[in-house]
Amino acid sequence: MTSYGPETTTDEVLLDHDLTGRHFMITGASSGLGEESARALAQAGATVTMLARNQSKLDKAIERIKSTNPSAVLKTGIADLSDQQSIRDYAQGFLATGETIDVLINNAGVMVCPFGKTADGIEMQFGTNHVGHFLLTNLLMPAILAGANPRIVNLSSAGHTHSDVNLDDPNFEKSEYNAWESYGRSKSANIHFTQEIVRRYGDRIQSFAVHPGVIMTELGRHLTPELMNEMTEKKIRHPHSGTFSANPISMTAGYTAMKMFDKQAVLDLNKLTKIAIKQIEESISLSGIPACVTGDGSMFRVHFNNNKPTTYREAYQEKEIKTIINELLDYLFLKENIIMINTCACMFSTTLNQQHVDRLSEALLNGFRIIKPKLENIS
């Protein structure tokens, strides 16, 4: 396979790759992305050391993996990324074995948790997501440097846009704790750490910072509707927001750039968007809510009134409507795994197809039916 898309599986990525003899080490491997990575790598023949802080959870993860691949070569280790002594104990024991590491995947982490501190008195998210991995990686560096074509993969996130690293107030002693800002600090630190590994060891180690995308795992266990609203409204920089602008210079530049794309691909994309708008209008009709859809090209927006706006300002929603929209967005994200920005707008890409349109229109129909009683109360 030479190209990947949103529906590409881990097995498809590793298709035709024989990893026999390669040793991967993964933190946070007892669930979520860590467990899935271990499963897929073992399926491709790799030896995988799975690290976590709970042996019971590791044993259950191994049982799940071996239920489909009895020959998987899996090892385990206990290392709590929020406890530096635990990290030192594990690293010391591992180095004593003389084993080497070909690929270290720093996957473990916490996200938007309530304020707390690690065993060493460091703010929990920064201490776990960055400091813990920083210490583990450096302690294991002799084994990594001895590996075959070694690599270090740090799982960062688009959430790094919430904040850069703040070493002047790492524990929020001078400011009020903000869960998203804390998460952003830790993810920015992951990126800076990756860059420094390249600077110091670039001739011997390949290092990568990875944004895995939005995937519903245990990492999101601390997410609340309030935190979701904060992320949607204030923090995340949506790459498509402002693509349609009232500024004629911006629109001309965008139009010129679009002309550089393959013409047929653009025409197909616009056609798919028209189909999507029609199906969403059908979902609106079936749900019986007061709403309409506008759009052009590959972009569309849902408006919660019966009349399509004719000016930019008419598209603004009242505060009561915005609250209901946020409930709809929460439902789409948490239950349907679909992200829409807080204006209920979407932009299609060339990776989407009719199956995605069908799924979107069905998810919106379910969401519309949920919010219908509240819309009726304010109409």
Sign of CA dihedral 265, 269, 275, 279: positive
- Asked if 266 and 258 touch (Cβ cutoff 8 Å), the reply is yes
Nearest of 243, 294, 293, 297 to residue 270 by alpha carbon:
297
Number of residues that make up the chain: 379
Checking DSSP bridges between strand 299-303 and strand 103-106, what pairing results, if any?
A: unpaired
Q: Which residues contact 73 (CB under 8 A, 6 or more apart)?
A: 42, 46, 47, 48
Residue 197 Cα to chain centre, angstroms: 23
Question: What secondary structure does DSSP assign to 177-197, as a single string?
Answer: --HHHHHHHHHHHHHHHHHHH
Q: Record the tokens describing residue 49, joined without a space.
A: 């050391």
Q: At what angle do helices 32-43 and 55-68 cross, to 10 degrees?
A: 40
Give the active site residue among 183, 255, 312, 316: 183
Query: What is the phi-psi region of residue 98: left when phi exceeds 0, alpha when psi lies from -120 to 50, beta otherwise?
Result: left
Active site residue 90: no
Edge-to-edge strands, sheet with 47-52 = 73-78, 47-52, 23-26, 103-106, 151-155, 206-210
d(CA 37, CA 50): 10
Residue 234 — φ and ψ, nearest 5°?
-120, -30
Q: Record the tokens describing residue 357, joined without a space.
A: 């349109």
Sign of CA dihedral 244, 249, 250, 253: positive
d(CA 159, CA 156): 8
Q: Which residues contact 304 (CB under 8 A, 6 or more apart)?
A: 289, 290, 291, 317, 321, 324, 325, 344, 375
Rounded to a whole number of angstroms, the CA Rg of the chain reads: 24
Catalytic residues: 183
